[in-house]
Amino acid sequence: MKKVEAIIRKSKFDEVKAALHQVEVNFFSYWDVTGVGNEQQGHVYRGISYSTSEIQRRFLSIVVSDEFLDRTVKAILSSAATDRVGDGKIFISNIEEAYRIRTGDKGSKSLN
């Protein structure tokens, strides 16, 4: 099992969610977050100057079985990209075990 953590533009969330549903990733958690990035260049939109490091972000936490990893990452990459600085990041880590509280199912069986 793998944990996929993605930090994306808040404005791309609906597209990412739809892309994940299309590849049968139907359960994940998310939070609104603000962070500081490496980019120091400012942009002007409708006369207001803003920094790309201060764009509102959404943090997604998704646990998938190993066979769903590639399709999950591809869905996020294709739907979250704008080809501009600040599109976000994806992080992958190993999950040693998972349990479904209601039934006691464990491992990949607990994810479906």
What domains are there in the chain, each with its CATH number? 2-110 (3.30.70.120)
Do the Cβ atoms of 80 and 9 come closer than 8 Å?
yes
pLDDT in tens, 52-111: 556 789 999 999 999 999 999 999 999 999 998 889 999 999 999 999 999 999 998 998
The vertex-20 CA angle with 68 and 81, nearest 5°, equals 110
Say if pTM beats, i.e. exceeds, 0.85: no
